[in-house]
Amino acid sequence: MLLGRRPERIRLDGLLAGARASHSQVLVVRGEPGVGKSALLSWAARQVAPARCLRAAGVESEVDLPFAVLHQMFLPGE
């Protein structure tokens, strides 16, 4: 359960409802380390079932590599 995250969950619910209706949107989740960004996104990923949810994690060492996240998501693992 995400305590104190009702406004964020409402916003994500709206975004997911739009996606189900074929309306694409973008949401940027920002915050200091440890504030619960990953927990919030994990919650959102569970809400999309049975749809497919693709996830990737950026790391600071890849900041200068173009398309690093696309590589992580779409190329076979090594």
pLDDT of 6-57, one tens digit each?
999 999 999 999 999 999 898 888 889 899 999 999 999 999 988 888 888 7
Number of domains in the chain: 1
**Would residue 1 count as lying in a domain?**
no
pLDDT value, residue 45 = 92
* Cα–Cα distances in angstroms (integers) from residue 12 to residues 65, 72, 73, in the given order: 29, 24, 22
Q: Which is more confidently placed, 7 or 1?
A: 7
Confidence of residue 77 (pLDDT cuts 50, 70, 90): low
Q: What predicted TM-score, i.e. pTM, was given to this entire model? A: 0.74
More confident residue, 59 or 16: 16
Q: What are the phi and psi torsion angles at 5 (to 5°)?
A: -115, 20
- Domain residues for 30? 6-74
